[in-house]
Amino acid sequence: MMNELYIDLGDIFASLPEYPVFKEGIRRAPKREFTLTKDETELALKNALRYVPQEWHNVLAPEFLNELLTLGRIYGYRFRPTGELMGHPIDEYEGKTIEGKAFQVMIDNNLDFEIALYPYELVTYGETGRVLQNWMQYHLVKEYLKRMNDTQTLVLLSGHPLGLFASKKDAPRVILTNGLMIGQFNDANNWNRAAALGVASYGQMTAGGWMYIGPQGIVHGTYSTLLNAGRSKLGIKEDKNLNGKLFVSSGLGGMSGAQGKAAIISGAASIIAEVDYSRIETRYSQGWVTTIAKNEKDAFEQAHKAMEDNEPIAIAYHGNIVSLLEYAVKENIYIDLLSDQTSCHAVYEGGYCPVGISFEERTQLLSSDKETFIKLVNEGLVRHYKAIKEITNKGTYFFDYGNSFMKAIYDAGVTEICANGRDDLDGFIWPSYVEDIMGPLLFDYGYGPFRWVCLSRSDEDLRKTDQAAMDAIDKNRRFQDLDNYNWIKDAEKNKLVVGTKARILYQDAYGRLKIALKFNEMVRNKDVGPIMLGRDHHDTGGTDSPFRETANIKDGSNVMSEMATHVALGNASRGMSLVALHNGGGVGISKAINGG
């Protein structure tokens, strides 16, 4: 027992590993805010060194200090495994339990070069959403998952493994929290301090919950959002798609990268602005964007041609969304659906690139002159707001896509964006996509997202599970069922998989039960290998987020975070294999609690 609770890296490495060579062309995280005093810097070093044997401290202390001073965080690069990481077939992992092996698959999948936003910094998506804080934790957690038996539970605090605790066979195998802070300190400055000290990690939703399945995870939701926005705001009939309609947004990153693909599946012409050319290249090489526009004029011309031909298209525009929208205003171009998916939950940490500077200049400015950077972000947000205001005045439907965009505009000083014209207590003038679209048309009926992973990494297993799910859906019950049926029918053709062979699907409780029982039968009969089912944090009830999931909730409980907390507690008491509770999620620290 003691042996299981106390492990350090000396138990894993006989000697200190070589310092790694970083692969060229892999995106690297910008410098994070660093404001620690000398004493706090020492504490941060001690916190990182606690994972490694004393005899290595002389070598590692200066190395960790250098990481802290130059990058704002200690990542422990030396301990990153050499080469590329990926979620291998489950049989290739060691462990006493299937859950312990499955979680190792998912941790590695979240850190795959093909998937992760900043793989060397353990960031999976959303600018700051991390699997764990550092590479020392990576090895320790994997070691615990190998040693864990089926009457033990691994407990983690913001990536820091507390150890294995005696539990029961039907208890969770892992319980983890990310970034939960005491209310008094629950703000961006204290958060940055705690993260630099090494005691807080930003889990986003599925990054720190180890259930990220690539941007596919959000394609289904984005497809449903666009289609239903078309139905409820543009008068599109239930059996029709978005052919001939124009959708404009920004971001081709981790989650936002789903927008072009989802627009194509829903039949729309779309233009997505992205400042970072490497992300455009990634989505283009995956076939998730159809073409790259030369400039604003070319982008709109290509979109209009596709609309005339009733053809779907996903056009990447390399540049700032504000420039694209200001061009549309100047040229009086009509847009049907408009949104934004820049990382406004981390707006001053690099998530939002100010108009007027390039992506490279943004990275430089972020580390050299944070004050000027913040000023430019605020100016950009104000221009962004004005452009949207002009566009919506002509009838365009704008929705906030759950990235804290309107809150960022408010924080930049625009009180006009508040519903009450004064403060953010009553929400904002434009709706959140949950409040206006997903809530009334899906969540209110009990439809929410869940996902499964074929742990064998076999295409054939995924095909069989797709078929089983399709067979379980009664497509004639409601239009939502038909959408879900069509989604799964075309899922393979739409080439949605990046990384592990996984699938996302919206279903209600009855649909899920049917599918789960069928999967159980298939696994029992050895028709397929092991399947891992995951609840999505975005599922009905999983998130308290006053500008998104719980926006404008009728009884004023938008200021409470008890529903999401109960989801996590309930999951734990019912024996879900992994239970996670996070602060921040998709909208930023202190602005949401999500459990799943």
Ligand X SMILES: NC(=O)c1ccc[n+]([C@@H]2O[C@H](COP(=O)([O-])OP(=O)(O)OC[C@H]3O[C@@H](n4cnc5c(N)ncnc54)[C@H](O)[C@@H]3O)[C@@H](O)[C@H]2O)c1
* Interface residues toward ligand X, by CB under 6 A: 117, 125-127, 218, 221, 250-256, 273-276, 279, 320-321, 341-345, 351-353, 401-403, 538, 586
- Of 30 and 87, the one with the shorter C-beta distance to ligand X is 30
Closer residue to ligand X, CB minimum distance, 178 or 403: 403
Distance CA 166, CA 496 (A): 40
Least distance from ligand X to the Cβ atom of residue 380, Å: 6
CB of 206 to ligand X, least distance (A): 9
Kindly state the smallest distance separating residue 138's Cβ from ligand X, in Å: 21
Judged by beta carbon, residue 90 or residue 299, the one nearer ligand X is: 299
Q: Which residue has the tokens 């031909």?
A: 309
What are the angstrom distances between the C-alpha of 63 and each of 59, 75, 464? 7, 10, 49
Question: What is the DSSP annotation of 393-446?
Answer: HTT-EE-B-SSSHHHHHHHTT-GGGBTTSS-GGG-BSSPBHIIIIIHHHTGGGT
Residue nearest to ligand X (CB): 253
N-to-C CA span, the chain: 29
Burial class of residue 12 (count of CB atoms within 10 Å of its CB; 0-12, 13-18, 19+)? middle
Cβ(126)–Cβ(84) below 8 Å: no
Report helix, strand or coil for 12: coil
Quick check: 179 and 583 in contact, CB under 8 A? Answer: yes
Choose between 249 and 494: whose C-beta lies nearer to ligand X. Answer: 249
In angstroms, what is the minimal distance from the CB of 148 to ligand X? 30
Minimal distance, residue 205 CB to ligand X, in Å = 7
Minimum CB distance to ligand X, residue 480 (Å): 17
Cβ-based nearer residue to ligand X, 8 or 281: 281
By beta-carbon proximity to ligand X, the closer residue of 347 and 469 is 347
Nearest to 83 by CA among 21, 25, 141, 27: 21
Q: Tokens 């109960």 appear where?
A: 566
Q: Which residue, 127 or 539, has its beta carbon nearer to ligand X? A: 127
- Hey, how many other C-beta atoms are within 10 angstroms of the C-beta on 514? 17
Provide, rounded to whole angstroms, the least separation between the CB of residue 189 and ligand X. 19
Output the six-digit token pair for 189. Answer: 């400055």
Using the minimum distance from each CB to ligand X, give the nearer residue, 152 or 545: 545
Can you tell me the distance from the alpha carbon of 417 to that of 426, in angstroms, rounded to the nearest whole number?
11
Give me the least distance between CB of 293 and ligand X, in Å please: 13
Total residue count of the chain as it appears in this document: 596
Return the H-helix or E-strand segment holding 124.
strand 123-125
